[in-house]
Amino acid sequence: MPFNTDSQSNAERLLGIVRSLAHELRPHAPAPKHLGLDHSLERDFGLDSLGRVELLSRIERELGIKLGEKALIDAETPRDLLKQIAGTITTETLTPAETAKLTETQVFHPPETASTLIEILDWRVARHPEQIHITLYDEEEHTEDITYRMLQDEAKALAAGLQQLGLGPGEKIAIMLPTGRGFFAAFYGVLYAGCVPVPLYPPGRPSQIEDHMRRIAGIIANAQASILITVEQAKPLGHLLRAQCELLRMVTTVADLSIRGAYPPSPKLEPQSIALLQYTSGSTGNPKGVVLTHANLLANLRAMTVVSGITAADTFVSWLPLYHDMGLIAACMGSLYVGFRLVLLSPLSFLARPACWLWTINRHCATVSAAPNFAFELCANKLDDRELNGLDLSCWRLAYNGAEPISMNTIDHFVARFARYGFSRTAMTPVYGLAESSVGLAFPPVERGPLVDHVDRAALTRSGIAHCVQADDRSALHIVSCGLPLPGHQIRIIDTEGQVLPERTQGRVQFCGPSATSSGYFRNPEATAHLFDGQWLNSGDMGYIAAGELYLTGREKDIIIRGGHNIYPQELEEAVSKVRGIHKGGVAVFPASNTYAGTERLVILAETRESNARERERIVAEINNLAVDLVGAPADDIVLVPPRTVLKTSSGKVRRTACRELYEQGSISSTLRPPWWQMIRLGGAAARARAMRLLRRGAEWIWGVWAWAVFVAIVPFAWLLIVLAPGLTLRRFIARASARLAVALTGLRLRVEGLLHLDNKVPMIVVANHASYLDALLLTAVLPARFAYVAKQELLRNPAATIPLRRLGSAFVERFDDARGVEDVRKLEERARAGESIIFFPEGTFRREAGLMPFRLGAFLTAAHTGIPVLPVTLIGTRTMLCAGQWLPRLCELKVLIGAPLHASGNDWQAALRLQEAARRQILAELNEPDIITASRSKLSSENFH
Per-residue pLDDT reduced to its tens digit, 93-110: 444 444 444 434 344 567
**Between 135 and 671, whose confidence is greater?**
135
Pairing of strands 428-430, 398-401: parallel
pLDDT at 839 over 80: yes
pLDDT of residue 758: 87
> 679 pLDDT band (50/70/90 cuts)?
very low
> 650 pLDDT band (50/70/90 cuts)?
low
C-alpha torsion 534→539→542→547, nearest 10: -80
pLDDT at 152 over 90: yes
Say which residues have a Cβ less than 8 Å from residue 415's Cβ, sequence separation at least 6.
423, 425, 428
pLDDT of residue 95: 47
Number of H helices, E strands in the chain: 32, 34
pLDDT at 724 over 80: yes
Return the closest-CA partner of residue 406 out of 372, 436, 437: 372
As a whole number, mean pLDDT of residues 492-501 equals: 90
Query: Using one digit for the tens of pLDDT, what is the confidence trace for 860-880?
Result: 989 999 999 999 999 998 888
Integer Cα distance of 63 and 56 in angstroms:
10
User: What does the angle CA 345 – CA 105 – CA 359 come to, to the nearest 5 degrees?
Assistant: 25
Say which residues have a Cβ less than 8 Å from residue 492's Cβ, sequence separation at least 6.
500, 509, 510, 511, 536, 545, 848
pLDDT of residue 97: 47
704-945 CATH pick, 1.10.10, 3.40.390, 3.40.1130, 3.30.1050: 3.40.1130
Classified by CATH at the fold level, domain 451-557 comes out as: Luciferase; domain 3 (2.30.38)
Pairing of strands 549-555, 536-546: antiparallel
The mean of the pLDDT values for the chain is 83
pLDDT of residue 319: 94
pLDDT of residue 3: 47
633 contacts 679 by C-beta, under 8 angstroms:
no
Lowest mean pLDDT among 26-40, 240-254, 749-763, 927-941: 927-941
Return the closest-CA partner of residue 490 out of 333, 303, 305: 303
As a whole number, mean pLDDT of residues 576-596 equals: 79
As a whole number, mean pLDDT of residues 561-574 equals: 66
SS3 label, residue 696: helix
> 659 pLDDT band (50/70/90 cuts)?
confident
Query: H or E stretch including 470?
Result: none
Query: Using one digit for the tens of pLDDT, what is the confidence trace for 526-557?
Result: 889 999 999 999 998 999 999 889 999 887 76
Distances, alpha carbon 653 to alpha carbons 374, 380, 627, in Å: 10, 19, 21
**How many CA atoms are closer than 13 Å to the CA of 674, on its beta-carbon side?**
26
pLDDT of residue 38: 74
pLDDT of residue 561: 56
Classified by CATH at the fold level, domain 7-109 comes out as: 1.10.1200
Return the closest-CA partner of residue 421 out of 388, 452, 454, 398: 388
Please tell us whether the domain made up of 560-674 is placed in CATH 3.30.300.30: yes
pLDDT of residue 462: 79
**Between 561 and 591, whose confidence is greater?**
591
SS3 label, residue 187: helix
pLDDT of residue 284: 39
Integer Cα distance of 824 and 818 in angstroms:
10
SS3 label, residue 172: strand
Lowest mean pLDDT among 166-175, 208-217, 474-483: 208-217
C-alpha torsion 67→73→78→81, nearest 10: -30
Integer Cα distance of 418 and 399 in angstroms:
12
DSSP class per residue in 314-355: -EEEE---TTSHIIIIIIIIHHHHH--EEEE--HHHHHH-TH
SS3 label, residue 197: strand
Please tell us whether the domain made up of 118-127+141-298+325-346 is placed in CATH 3.40.50.1370: no
pLDDT of residue 733: 93
- Which strands, in side-by-side order, build the sheet including 582-594? 582-594, 599-608, 637-641
Q: What are phi and psi of 907, to 5 degrees?
A: -120, 20
The structural domains of the chain, with segments of one domain joined by +, span: 7-109, 118-127+141-298+325-346, 451-557, 560-674, 704-945
Integer Cα distance of 619 and 611 in angstroms:
11
**Distance in angstroms between the alpha carbons of the first and the last residue of the chain:** 44
